[in-house]
DNA sequence: CCGGGGGTTGAACGATCGTTCGGCACAGGG
DNA sequence: CCCTGTGCCGAACGATCGTTCAACCCCCGG
């Protein structure tokens, strides 16, 4: 690999290693640490943790392999940082969406489904990593990430159960429907390709809509004849 | 790792390496090849392809590392065999279920959801491998497996679209609902633990039920008041 | 001007990786 | 009886792995 660059000498002007900007890079991070995190997400999402070497990550970040150990305890520590931050971003975004949503089961479900799908669309590589490389985490870091994942699932469970208790959702299996929704939304990161026929907004809207069907959404006050389809889709040409 | 065995000398009585019996082990397989396949599924499902060494697989199969190369071209070839067979089992089972099902969208959807969930429950490790280690496959073998996966998805798409065309399913987004269903059913392999509170049959039944809600199942002939819930659940105490 | 220190480097460590190879054990046909 | 072939083994190959280390560069306070 590492082919010679045809133009522009590899001279690095010091302290500007590579392109940052990922959802797991936080504003307070040092430049090189941010570049390493970003590079790790990029490369590990493709080849996996064990399929990616420290040299691969360092090369993608534009630094020497040894630099990694000045910013992280180990390759494992870098993975732990990425996964922990990724789950943190997801949970926080979901919490905020839930907090801002009105006291209505359908609106709440739409809110958290929207956030969940959007995060998995926009932070696709981080999500992919978080879903496939948990097994590469050592016990301590794994417990932290799993705890956050449970928190995320619990938020969905609560919304669906509440909707059922109020009679707005009619599914006889709230917890299973809830898990099926999160599973389906999480899987978006596995198939979505940025150049596809649907925009992110369209995908989000569709998943929100189908998720409401999944929980058996039946608006209160109206017994609703036929199906619940009429209550939806005021605007927009569906296809 | 290779700790000395305290009792029972490692003497092998030739030609009886280890315990076989996995869904990707076929009847015509030689004993040692079967043991290697079975061991590969077991170990790789836990640590991933790159996280598993040839020595790990050989040890789990009770043979020497060199034996692997008498039955497979390489470690990569062994993975290709496992994944290819796994997808083949899934697609064939779904095809047969579809063939045996009556000409009714709801019954067909129940049939293929049932098979899909059951395969992912009973062949959990193979499924886990197939969902997370496609990236470790080289181009040729990958194309084969991806083609089979597309076939599987197409069967779901066709059933859902047909149900919509007949007015039995009311979802405005058949393809998205279809993909959400397969995603959710596939994810079963990621969370199911054999000792859990629900039996496999119960999980299958619940997923069938929720899947029908997901596509907006509204039985024909009856405009159905309230929700579709009444049409279901004749027997069995739901919870 | 000088001195110090954090960030970076190339080189090297032992360990383990996938793979190969020569030879051994043993069943079956002459 | 021997001879052949098949399946298995231990040992070893070079490559690459994660990690360490001493030296270096360059910015910054004095």
* Whole-number Å distance between alpha carbons of A228 and B54: 55
Residues of B in contact with A187 (CB under 8 A): 179-180, 183-184, 186-187
Neighbours of A34 (CB within 10 A): 23
Tens of pLDDT along chain B (239 residues)? Answer: 333 333 333 333 344 444 445 788 888 778 899 999 999 999 999 999 999 999 999 999 999 999 999 999 999 999 999 999 999 999 999 999 999 999 999 999 999 999 999 999 999 999 999 999 999 999 999 999 999 999 999 999 999 999 999 999 999 999 999 999 999 999 999 999 999 999 999 999 999 999 999 999 998 765 544 444 445 654 544 44
Residues with CB under 7 A from strand C: A 12, 14-15, 17, 30-32, 63-67, 70-71; B 14, 52-56, 65-66, 68-69, 74-76
CB nearest A209 (choices: B173, B207, B210): B173
Tracing tokens 């690095």 back to the chain, one arrives at A12
Q: What is the pLDDT of residue A236?
A: 45
**Distance between B128 CA and the closest CA of chain A, angstroms:** 10
Neighbours of A55 (CB within 10 A): 13
Burial class (CB in 10 A: 0-12, 13-18, 19+), A20: middle
Span A173-179, average pLDDT? 98
| Nearest nucleotide (C1') to alpha carbon of A70 | C7
* Whole-number Å distance between alpha carbons of A124 and A121: 5
Q: Nearest to residue A115, comparing CAs of A213, A212, A203, A204?
A: A204
Residues of B in contact with A190 (CB under 8 A): 183
Cα→Cα distances A41→A57, A83, A149, A187, B123, Å: 9, 9, 19, 18, 30
Residues of A in contact with B209 (CB under 8 A): 171-173
Residues whose CB falls within 8 Å of the CB of residue A92, separated by 6 or more in sequence, listed in order: none
Residues of A in contact with B203 (CB under 8 A): 176
Q: What is the pLDDT of residue B194?
A: 95
- Angle B234-B236-B239 from CA coordinates, rounded to 5°: 115
pLDDT of residue A10 exceeding 50, the answer is no
Q: What is the pLDDT of residue B4?
A: 35
More confident residue, A181 or A13: A181
B31 touches strand D (CB under 7 A): yes
Q: Is B130 helix (H, G, I), strand (E, B) or coil?
A: helix
pLDDT of residue A238 exceeding 70, the answer is no
Instruction: Give the per-residue SS3 of chain A.
Output: CCCCCCCCCCCCCCCCCCCCCCCCCCCCCCHHHHHHHHHHHHHHHHHCCCCCCHHHHHHHHCCCHHHHHHHCCCHHHHHHHHHHHHHHHHHHHHHHHHHHCCCCHHHHHHHHHHHHHHHHHHCHHHHHHHHHCHHHCCHHHHHHHHHHHHHHHHHHHHHHHHHHHCCCECCCCHHHHHHHHHHHHHCHHHHCCCCCCCCHHHHHHHHHHHHHHHCCECCCCCCCCCCHHHHCCCCCCCC
Tracing tokens 């090189």 back to the chain, one arrives at A32
* Whole-number Å distance between alpha carbons of A188 and B180: 9
Tens digit of pLDDT for each residue in A77-128? 999 999 999 999 999 999 999 999 999 999 999 999 999 999 999 999 999 9
Phi, psi of B130 (to 5 degrees): -65, -25
* Whole-number Å distance between alpha carbons of B86 and B15: 26
CA→C1' distance for A168 and C27 (Å)? 73
- Span of A144-158, A212-226, B110-124, B138-152 with lowest mean pLDDT: A212-226
* Whole-number Å distance between alpha carbons of A11 and B40: 46
CATH architecture of the domain A77-231 equals: Orthogonal Bundle (1.10)
Q: Which residues of A fall below an 8 Å CB-CB distance to B?
A: 46-51, 132, 135-136, 170-173, 176-177, 179-181, 183-184, 186-187, 190-191, 203, 206-207, 209-210, 213-216, 218, 223-229, 232-233, 238
3-state helix, strand, coil in chain B (%, to 5): 65, 0, 35
Percent of chain A with pLDDT over 90: 78
Mean model confidence pLDDT for chain A: 88
Let me know: does A214 contact A180? Beta carbons within 8 Å.
yes
Cα distance between the two ends of chain B: 47
Please count the residue pairs, one from chain A and one from chain B, whose beta carbons lie less than 8 angstroms apart.
Answer: 142
Q: Which chain B residue has the Cα nearest residue A219?
A: B226
* Whole-number Å distance between alpha carbons of A73 and A121: 30
Residues of A in contact with B132 (CB under 8 A): 132
CA→C1' distance for A47 and C13 (Å)? 27
Q: What is the pLDDT of residue A27?
A: 80
| Residue contact B210–A214, C-beta within 8 A | yes
Q: What is chain A's alpha carbon radius of gyration, rounded to the nearest angstrom?
A: 21
Tracing tokens 């992919």 back to the chain, one arrives at A128
Q: What is the pLDDT of residue A223?
A: 52
pLDDT of residue A228 exceeding 90, the answer is no
B77 touches strand D (CB under 7 A): no
* Whole-number Å distance between alpha carbons of A144 and A135: 13
Tens digit of pLDDT for each residue in A25-56? 888 778 899 999 999 999 999 999 999 999 99
Q: Give me the residue spans of the domains in chain B.
A: 77-231
Q: What is the pTM of this model?
A: 0.88
Span A206-226, average pLDDT? 82
| Residue contact B136–A177, C-beta within 8 A | no
| Residue contact A180–B180, C-beta within 8 A | yes
pLDDT of residue A66 exceeding 70, the answer is yes
Residues whose CB falls within 8 Å of the CB of residue A151, separated by 6 or more in sequence, listed in order: A91
Q: What is the pLDDT of residue A179?
A: 98
Cα→Cα distances A146→A95, A131, A138, B236, Å: 17, 11, 12, 34
DSSP 8-state class, residue B137: S
Burial class (CB in 10 A: 0-12, 13-18, 19+), A5: exposed
The pair of three-digit structure tokens given for residue A123, joined into one six-digit string: 């932070």
């Amino acid at each position: 690999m590492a082919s010679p660059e045809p133009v522009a000498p590899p001279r690095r002007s010091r302290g500007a290693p590579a392109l940052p900007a990922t959802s797991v890079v936080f504003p307070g991070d040092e430049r090189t640490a941010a570049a390493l995190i970003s590079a790790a997400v990029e490369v590990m999402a493709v080849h996996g943790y064990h399929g990616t070497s420290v040299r691969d990550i360092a090369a993608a970040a534009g630094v020497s392999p040894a630099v990694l150990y000045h910013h992280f305890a180990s390759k494992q520590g870098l993975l732990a940082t990425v996964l922990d931050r990724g789950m943190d971003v997801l949970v926080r975004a979901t919490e905020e969406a839930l907090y801002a949503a009105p006291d209505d089961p359908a609106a709440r479900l739409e809110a958290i489904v929207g956030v969940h799908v959007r995060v998995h669309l926009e932070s696709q590589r981080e999500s992919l990593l978080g879903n496939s490389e948990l097994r590469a985490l050592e016990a301590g870091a794994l417990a932290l990430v799993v705890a956050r994942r449970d928190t995320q699932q619990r938020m969905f469970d609560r919304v669906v159960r509440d909707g059922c208790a109020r009679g707005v959702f009619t599914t006889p299996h709230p917890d299973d429907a809830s898990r099926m929704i999160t599973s389906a939304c999480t899987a978006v990161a596995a198939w979505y390709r940025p150049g596809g026929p649907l925009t992110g907004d369209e995908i989000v809207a569709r998943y929100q809509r189908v998720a409401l069907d999944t929980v058996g959404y039946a608006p209160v006050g109206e017994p609703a004849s036929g199906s619940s389809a009429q209550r939806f889709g005021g605007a927009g040409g569906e296809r």
